[in-house]
Amino acid sequence: MPEKGPKPEDLLRVEHNKLPEKDWLEPDVDFKAKHGNYCYPSKPKMLEYLGMPNPRQWRPADDDWKLPPDWQEIIYKGMQERLDRFRSFKLFMDICVRCGACADKCHFFIGSGDPKNMPVMRAELLRSVYRRQHTTAGKVLGKFAGARDLTEDVLKEWFYYFYQCTECRRCSVFCPYGIDTAEITMMGRELLNLVGVNINWVMEPVANCYRTGNHLGIQPHTFKDNIEFAADDLADITGVKVEVPINKKGAEILFVTPSADYFGSPHYYTFLGYMALFHEIGLDYTMSAFASEGGNFGLFTSHEMMKRLNAKIYAEAKRLGVKWILGGECGHMWRVLHQYMDTMNGPADFLEEPVSPLTGTRFENATSTKMVHISEFTADLLREGKIKLDPSRNDHFRVTYHDSCNPARAMGLFEEPRYLLRSSCNNFFEMPESTIRERTFCCGSGSGLGTDENLEARLRGGMPRANAVQYVHEKHGVNLLTCMCAIDKATLPPLMEYWVPGVEVAGVHELVGNALVMKGEGERTTDLRGTPLLTKEEVTANV
Amino acid sequence: MAKMLYPFLIVVALALVGYAGGSLPALQVVFGIIIPYIAMAAFVAGFAYRMLGWVRSPVPFRITTTAGQQRSLPWIKANNLEAPANKLGVLGRMALEVLLFRSLFRNTSAGLRGKRLLFGEEKLLWAGGLLFHYSFLVIILRHTRFFLDPVPFFVPWLQAVDGFFQVGVPAMYITTATILVALLFLFARRVVMPQIRYISLPADYFPLFLILGIGTTGVLMRHFFRVDIEAVKELALSLVVLQPRIPANVGPLFFAHLALVSSLLVYFPLSKLMHMGGIFLSPTRNLTNDNRRRRHVNPWNYPVPTHSYAEWQEEFKEKLEMAGIPLDEDLDHKPEMAAARGGHA
Amino acid sequence: MYDGKYIVPGLLIFLAVFFIPTAYTYATGGPSQPPKPALPANETQCVESKDWMRDNHMQLLVQWREDVVRNNDRTYTSFTYNKQYKKSLTNTCLKCHDNKQDFCDSCHTYAGVSPNCWDCHNVPKEVSS
């Protein structure tokens, strides 16, 4: 945390009802004053590697963004193309009545009070240009019809606000017409990308992922080293030595997970949980050093880039000759896998309909895509009695669960993780209803915004989530925030440190791994992160 | 202020023009026959045009917003209305959305009290919206007594229910009061609530004023400056059966009413009021959440450059060998894939 | 066009609604002529002028009802003719307008008006039969 950054009580001084007198149609972003609220632009070499337009050095605070000379034409054409391709886009441009139900649903608006962070406004930034170009009223009446020309200032405003939306879709739950701001932001970013306006925190992972197979740019030998290192760690903790097959042809299942799981903390402990679980049930699986990333920052770039990065998963499943694919804990990864992969890179007719080799359960909900979520898989194991959990090993935790946006609002994955958590620990507490399940609040750093240069925006955007955690922290002594998203795991810890010190962050399968009773294991003295377990006396004292 | 004032003045002007036109026998044909016909045609054609405009664009991805538990393992209770796994669920979800404004019913208000973020139930917008739409529906159905000959069975029934309180003669309808209250509420929140005032455009005030104008002229005709109802029906019916004629004694107030209604019909397809048709097409609501069970097809799913395993193995061959990761000797090198890549080294 | 199989029929049904009135009116024998209520054969003058009555008879009748039922006030003085009448639907109005169907109903049915007179009063025909 920056020493001289704003204190929590300063960030909490947010006025939601004091709005500027100035008409919103006047673009108004002072990048110098807004330092800490936006991300830095993509390095040219990332765009060059990916074959994307207008690679160059530039800074948002510069007056000249070095746009191509015909940038307006490019955007107009791009907009037309997308209106013809996406009914969602066309419809959402047309039918909003500006009822304002979405206004205070956005974590960025709640945290910043910036009126253009109201979802309706975020869309109006685009709509105003759409009206000017595509509606008679907008062409004739201009500003009076809420229409405006696409100027450089408007484009700068787009950049600022479309990279201050985490595509979490919370507003779309409340919109009476189901208008989805994620869809708007995705279109906005696609258009910006056409003229080379993008952020490095998205483009570098994309370029890495395209080259090495994962966002972090981990090359195959390091991939293997990390996994072996993890296996050693697991052996130290449990006394059980596990094998993790890599690029093994003919395995039954390909396991794909976000690269942070084997590279970042606290993701790593969840990864240990997976390894322990797969070993315990004797799963015939393999990981891939090529399809070494489940996440897909292409989603935060363009539909095309999403498809380009996603293609490797089916390709690798085909090459390795597996029967089906199992996916680890991740948020946007699962949005892509659940809602896009089969359409983009399917049909996966070379795979088999997924059946759990241990329970014989046929995963009816994944018969076409042939990819199963780890929490569905493990919940089935537990239900069928194939694994044994000792929840007392998590007695040092008082646990709550953060529904990660995408599994919540793009899959409806609510009960599987809760079933696992309730079976893995003895102290589970839900956060207030308005902040969980389909109403869950984003971590504030999704969609490629989880970097340092926009820390203030992240802390503000994460405030609603943190506030709910603080509530259960104070009321129930909650000290562990669980979630199922790699970005959450990376960005919730600093958020907690800032707003609710004393709360740690973990994945669901970390708790499963802690509780998992393994054949041939020694007595566990620590959990997967090395924290000593409570002694029997301490447990009794706690009760 | 201009955002409110101009739409208001436009509506007043429209009503006055109608009134003036109705006062001049020579212009009655224009305001009583020609304009209403044009308005009706514009509405029907415009509505169809807008709907077909949306239908021309495909739905490339199934982007359902799930607001309930998915259907996965058989022992986990799925919510087929909030995360519909089949068409029946979608039908139910859409019915709730269209008939009861389900999503709006979820509305909460968020606010900071000290260091605590609090959420309150906020059902007023839902109630006001529902009240307005249903009042309008009942009013339109009641008005069929002017367009249908003989008057169908449900009209007296509706009138009896709607006029249940028998206040005044002719009886004041409940929906007259409710639509006016609802409209004033919807207007007031645009004025009073700072966030909503900030986002409101003239295009938000105009339809409110227009419908308020229609309601007001209607109330005036029924309760204050009575018009000859037989003449009104004669005119309406003559339009309906395509034998238009202007009876004597229609009264200019009716022409003001008609001018505003015609304006609404013309304005409707040009405006946000198309949410009426649009809601049925909303992809986050009208699609099933069975993406992994049933493949969704994107009609423009064009090929994209990808980084193939073969290229990847080639690039990292030494490192793979060093790490002892098995190399694939049996690779299908596809030159056309490489050709399609382009753009990078 | 995409998803036309759902949307086009839906749209057609919606638009067809606007042509129901035309079809309905023709299907039920075409538009009726504007009503010409049958006037009494042996009386040329109502309690007030014809035009006034046309606009205001409903208020007058309700006023009479209130006066009689609540205040026992049974005499009405015409402001047009300065004559006195008994405030009575049956004995004053229906004395001349003795055919409800041809007089009252002709307009009321046409305009879809259902006054509540007959909630309490007997329909004249029923009396005579």
Question: Position of tokens 């056409």?
Answer: A194
Count of structural domains, chain B: 2
* Interacting residues of A151 by C-beta distance below 8 A, sequence separation 6+: A27
Q: What does chain B come to in residues?
A: 345
Domain count, chain A: 3
Digit-coded pLDDT (tens) for A104-123: 999 999 999 999 999 999 99
Query: Which B residues, 155 through 174, put their C-beta within 8 Å of a C-beta on chain A?
Result: none
Tell me which H or E stretch contains B237.
helix B229-240
The verdict on B281 touching C (C-beta cutoff 8 Å) is yes
B211 and B146 inside one domain:
yes
pLDDT above 70 covers what percent of chain A?
98
As beta bridge partners, residue B42 has: none
* Cβ pair C18:B44 closer than 8 A: yes
CB of A47 within 8 Å of any CB in chain B? no
Note the pLDDT of residue B334. Answer: 55
Assess if residue B29 is contained within a domain: yes
Cβ neighbors of B75 (< 8 A, separation 6 or more) are A383
Q: Are strands A480-483 and A399-401 parallel, antiparallel or unpaired?
A: parallel
Is residue A371 less than 8 Å (CB to CB) from chain B?
A: yes
B73 touches A429 (CB < 8 A): no
Q: Report chain B residues whose CB lies below 8 A from the CB of A215.
A: none
Tokens linked to A309: 């990065």
CB contact under 8 A, A224 and B76: no
| Lowest mean pLDDT, pick from A463-467, A475-479, B156-160 | B156-160
Is C58 within 8 Å of B170 when comparing Cβ atoms? yes
CATH number, residue A214: 1.20.1050
Which residue does chain B place closest to C106, by CA atoms?
B230
pLDDT higher than threshold 60 for residue B335: no
- Within chain B, strands assigned E span 108-113, 116-121
For residue A135, pLDDT over 60 is answered with yes
Q: Side chain identity at B318, as an amino acid letter? A: E
User: Is residue B287 domain-resident?
Assistant: no
H helices then E strands: how many in chain C? 6, 2
Using DSSP, state whether B139 is helix, strand or coil.
helix
Burial-class residue B59 by CB neighbours within 10 Å (0-12, 13-18, 19+). Answer: buried
- Cβ-based contacts of B53 with chain A (< 8 Å): 90
Residues B249 and B143 in one domain: yes
How far, CA to CA in Å, does A200 sit from each of A184, A265, B318? Answer: 21, 22, 29
Q: Least CB-CB distance to A86: which of B57, B282, B293?
A: B57
Whether residue B118 is contained in a domain is answered as no
Ranges of each domain in chain C: 1-30, 37-128
Q: What share of chain B is helix, strand, coil (3-state, %, to 5)?
A: 65, 5, 35
B169 pLDDT tier (thresholds 50, 70, 90): confident
Neighbours of B314 (CB within 10 A): 11
> Does residue C42 register a pLDDT over 90?
no
Whether residues A14 and A89 fall in one domain: yes
- Give CA–CA dist A206/A308, Å, rounded: 10
Q: Write the pLDDT tens digit of every residue in B83-140.
A: 999 999 999 999 999 999 999 999 999 999 989 999 999 999 999 999 999 999 999 9
Q: Which residue has the higher pLDDT, A276 or B171?
A: A276
Q: What token pair was written down for B16?
A: 């006055």
Does residue A186 contact residue A446 with C-beta atoms inside 8 Å? no
Q: Which of A28-42, A492-506, B219-233, B326-340 has the lowest mean pLDDT?
A: B326-340
Residue B214 lies in a domain: yes
CB contact (8 A) between residue B233 and residue C1:
no
Q: Is the pLDDT of residue B48 over 90?
A: yes
Number of Cα atoms under 13 Å in the Cβ half of residue B223? 13
For residue B214, give the nearest of B304, B120, B317, B135 by alpha carbon.
B135
Predicted local confidence at residue B96, as pLDDT: 98
Same structural domain for residues A231 and A286? yes
Residue C127 in this model has a pLDDT that exceeds 90: no
Q: What is the pLDDT of residue C98?
A: 86
The answer to whether B152 touches B144, Cβ cutoff 8 Å, is yes
Q: Beta strands A399-401 and B116-121: pairing type? A: unpaired
The pLDDT mean for chain A works out to 96
Tell whether B79 and B180 lie within a shared domain. yes
Q: What is the pLDDT of residue A534?
A: 86
Which chains have 3 or more CB–CB distances shorter than 8 Å to chain B?
A, C
d(CA A503, CA A493): 8
Cis link prior to A347 (omega < 30° from 0)?
yes
pLDDT for residue C129:
44
| Residue A363: strand, helix, or coil | coil
Cα A133 to Cα A367: distance, rounded to the nearest angstrom: 43
Q: Is the pLDDT of residue A446 over 70?
A: yes
Alpha-carbon Rg for chain C, nearest whole angstrom, is 22
* Spatial distance between the Cα atoms of A72 and A63, rounded to a whole number of angstroms: 17
Q: What is the pLDDT of residue B330?
A: 76
Restricting to A residues 378-397, those with a Cβ less than 8 Å away from any Cβ of B are 379-380, 383
d(CA C45, CA C62): 21
Q: Which of A364, A383, A402 is the last residue of a domain?
A: A383
B278/A94 Cα distance (integer angstroms) = 8
Whether the pLDDT of residue B333 is over 70: the answer is no
State the residue for tokens 């009545």: A97
Cβ-based contacts of B222 with chain C (< 8 Å): none
Cβ atoms of B295 and B61 closer than 8 Å: no
Tokens 């008057």 belong to residue: B151
Those residues with Cβ within 8 angstroms of residue A218's Cβ, 6 or more apart along the chain or in another chain: A212, A226, A259, A262, A263, A292
Q: Which of residues 271-310 of B touch A (CB under 8 A)?
A: 271-272, 274-275, 278-279, 281-285, 289-298, 300-301, 304-309
Contacts of C105 in chain B (CB under 8 A): none
Single residue among A357, A383, A409 that ends a domain in this structure: A383
CB count in 10 Å sphere of residue B269: 20
Contact status of B301 with chain C (Cβ, < 8 Å): no
Which subunits count as partners of chain C given 3+ CB pairs below 8 Å? B
Containing domain of residue A455, as a range? 391-542
Assess whether A343 and A421 both reside in one domain: no
Is the domain of A222 the same as that of A250? Answer: yes
Scanning B150-209 for CB atoms below 8 A from C yields 150-152, 155-156, 159-160, 166, 169-170
At a CB cut-off of 8 Å and minimum separation 6, what does A277 contact?
A283, A378, A381, A387, A509, A512, A513, A516
Domain that holds residue B220: 2-99+133-281
- Predicted pLDDT at B2: 85
- Separation in Å, CA of B317 to nearest CA in chain A: 9
pLDDT at A1 over 90: no
Residue with the two structure tokens 């609603």: A464
User: What integer pLDDT is reported at residue B337 of this predicted model?
Assistant: 44
**According to the model, what pLDDT value does residue A210 have?**
96
Measured in whole angstroms, the distance separating CA B245 from the mean position of its chain's CA atoms is 34
Q: Which residue of A has its CA nearest to B104?
A: A176
Output the six-digit token pair for B108.
Answer: 């909460």
For residues B307 and B333, the answer to whether their CB atoms sit within 8 Å is: no
Say if residue A507's pLDDT is above 90: yes
Quick one: pLDDT at residue A543?
A: 54
Q: Is residue B304 part of a domain?
A: no
Q: Does the beta-carbon distance from B63 to A369 stay under 8 Å?
A: no
pLDDT at residue B332, rounded to an integer: 64
Contacts of B292 in chain A (CB under 8 A): 337-338, 342, 365-371
Q: Do C112 and B145 touch (CB under 8 A)?
A: yes
Q: Is A519 helix (H, G, I), strand (E, B) or coil?
A: coil
Q: Are residues B216 and B86 in the same domain?
A: yes
Residue A396 and residue A480 in contact, taking contact as beta carbons nearer than 8 Å: no
- pLDDT tens-digit series, residues A229-245: 999 999 999 999 999 99
Q: Would you state the pLDDT for residue C122?
A: 83
Element (H, E) at A536: helix A536-542
Name the percent of chain A lying above pLDDT 90. 95
Same domain? A171 vs A239: no
pLDDT in tens, A338-392: 999 999 999 999 999 999 999 999 999 999 999 999 999 999 999 999 999 999 9
| Whether B159 and B205 share a structural domain | yes
Residue B30 counted as domain residue = yes
- Contact flag B103-A176 (C-beta cutoff 8 Å): yes
Q: Is A300 helix (H, G, I), strand (E, B) or coil?
A: helix
Residues B250 and B327 in one domain: no
The pLDDT of A479-489, averaged and rounded, is 97
Nearest CB to B117; choose among A18, A361, A464 = A464
How many Cβ atoms from other residues are within 10 Å of residue A23's Cβ? 13
**pLDDT higher than threshold 90 for residue B342:** no
Instruction: Indicate the helix (H) or strand (E) that contains C76.
Output: strand C75-77
Does B79 contact chain A (CB < 8 Å)?
Answer: yes
Dihedral of CA A363/A369/A374/A375: which sign? negative
Range list of H helices, A60-180: 71-85, 87-94, 107-112, 119-134, 136-141, 152-162, 170-174
One domain for residues B267 and B167: yes
Residue B88, both tokens: 């029946």
pLDDT tens digits for A270-312? 999 999 999 999 999 999 999 999 999 999 999 999 999 999 9
A residues 67-106 lying closer than 8 A (beta carbon) to B: 83-91, 94-101, 103-105
Chain A residues within an 8 Å CB radius of B109: 104
In chain A, residues with a C-beta closer than 8 Å to the C-beta of B200 are 98
Of B57, B85, B343, the CB nearest to A84: B57
Q: For residue A102, give the nearest of A117, A82, A84, A86 by alpha carbon.
A: A117
Which of A5-14, A302-311, B83-92, C80-89 has the weakest average pLDDT?
Answer: A5-14
Question: Are both A129 and A166 inside the same structural domain?
Answer: yes
Query: Can you tell me the mean pLDDT for C32-55?
Result: 89
Give, as one character, the DSSP assignment of residue A145: G
CATH code for the domain of A494: 3.40.50
Q: Tell me what the pLDDT averaged over chain B comes to.
A: 93
- What band does B340 get if pLDDT is binned at 50, 70 and 90? very low
Overall average pLDDT of the A418-427 stretch = 98
Residue B167 confidence class, pLDDT cut points 50, 70, 90: confident
- What was the pLDDT predicted at C126? 55
Contact across the interface for C11 and B48, Cβ inside 8 Å = yes
**Residue A482 forms beta bridges with which residues?**
A401, A506
CA angle B50, B52, B54 (to 5 degrees): 75
Q: Is the pLDDT of residue B338 over 50?
A: no
| DSSP three-state, residue B318 | helix
Residue bearing the bigger pLDDT, B77 or A535: B77
- Interchain proximity B199–A316, CB inside 8 Å: no
**For the residues A198-202, what does the mean pLDDT come to?**
97
ipTM over 0.90: yes
**What gap in Å lies between CA A461 and CA A285, rounded to an integer?**
39
Instruction: Name the minimum distance, in Å, from the CA of C45 to any CA of chain B.
Output: 21
Nearest CA to CA, how far is C10 from chain B (Å)?
10
Q: From CA C126, how far away is CA B168, in angstroms rounded?
A: 29
Q: Report yes or no: C78 and C85 within 8 Å, Cβ to Cβ.
A: yes
Residue A308 has what pLDDT?
97
The tally of CA atoms less than 13 A away on the side-chain side of residue B269 is: 20
pLDDT at position B122 is: 92
Q: How far is CA A79 from the centre of its chain?
A: 26
> Is B229–C24 a contact, with Cβ atoms under 8 angstroms apart?
no
Q: Mean pLDDT in chain C?
A: 89
